[in-house]
A = this chain, B = another copy of it.
Amino acid sequence: MPYDYIPPLLNINNGKIILLILDGLGGLPMTLGGETELEAANTPNMDKLAAEGSLGQTIPIRTGITPGSGPAHLSLFGYDPLKYDVGRGVLSASGVGLTVRPGDIAARGNFCTLDEEGNITDRRAGRIGHEEAKPIVEKLKSLKISGVEVEIAHVKEYRFTIVMRGDGLSDKISDTDPQKTGVPPLHVKAENMESEKAAALFQEWVDKTREVLKNEEQANGLTLRGFATNPELPTYLDSYGLKAACVAVYPMYRGVSHLVGMDVIQFQGEKPEDEFETVAKYWNDYDFFFVHIKKTDSMGEDGNFDGKVKIIESVDQALPILLDLNPAALLITGDHSTPAKMKAHSWHPVPFLLSSPEYALTDSQTIFGERACALGGLGTFPATETMSLALAHAGRLSKFGA
Assembly stoichiometry (copies):
2
B377 touches A370 (CB 8 A): yes
In the bound complex, CA of A44 to CA of B190 (Å): 63
21 A-B pairs in the complex with CB atoms less than 8 angstroms apart: A5-B82, A32-B357, A33-B362, A64-B389, A65-B392, A66-B392, A66-B397, A67-B401, A68-B401, A81-B400, A91-B401, A91-B402, A95-B402, A345-B399, A346-B359, A347-B397, A361-B370, A363-B371, A371-B377, A374-B375, A374-B379
Q: Among the listed stretches A122-130, A299-307, A380-388, which one makes contact with chain B, having 4 or more residues with CB under 8 Å of it?
A: A380-388
| A residues lining the B interface (CB < 8 Å) | 3, 5, 9, 26, 28-29, 32-33, 36, 52, 57, 61-72, 81-82, 88, 91-92, 95, 342, 344-349, 357, 359, 361-364, 370-371, 374-381, 385, 388-393, 397-402
What is the bound-complex CA distance between A9 and B5, given in angstroms? 32
Cα A46 to Cα B402 with chains together (Å): 30
Contacting residues, chain B, for A344 (C-beta < 8 A): 399
Interface of A (DSSP majority class): loop
Measured CB to CB, the nearest residue on chain B to A399 is B66
Cβ–Cβ contact A401 & B57, under 8 A = no
| B-side contacts of A347, CB under 8 Å | 392, 397
Among B36, B64, B378, B401, which residue has its beta carbon within 8 angstroms of that of A385? B64
How many angstroms between the C-alpha atoms of A375 and B380 in the bound complex? 11
In the complex, are the beta carbons of B66 and A391 less than 8 A apart?
Answer: no
Contact A71/B32 with A363-B374, A389-B64 known, Cβ cut-off 8 Å: no
Determine the chain B residues whose CB is within 8 A of the CB of A385 once the complex forms: 62-64
Residues of B within 8 A of A36 (CB): 361
Beyond known contacts A61-B400, A66-B392: 5 more, CB 8 A cutoff: A64-B388, A64-B389, A66-B397, A69-B401, A364-B375
- A377 and B349: CB pair below 8 A? yes
Within 8 Å CB of A374, what residues of B?
A: 363-364, 375-377, 379
Instruction: Give the distance to chain B from A62, nearest Cβ to Cβ, in Å.
Output: 7
The chain B residue with its CB closest to the CB of A370 is B361
Residue pair B363, A399 in contact (C-beta under 8 Å): no
Of all chain B residues, the one with the shortest Cβ separation from A402 is B68
Q: Are B57 and A379 in contact (CB under 8 A)?
A: yes
Chain B residue numbers with a CB within 8 Å of A402 are 68-70, 88, 91-92, 95
- Residues of B contacting A400 with CB < 8 Å? 61, 65-68, 71, 81
Closest residue of B by beta carbon distance from A86: B401
Q: Determine the chain B residues whose CB is within 8 A of the CB of A62 once the complex forms.
A: 3, 5, 385, 388
Contact A65 B5 (CB under 8 A): yes
Pick the most buried of A5, A29, A402: most chain B CB atoms within 10 A of its CB.
Answer: A402
Chain B nearest CB: distance from A111 CB in Å? 17
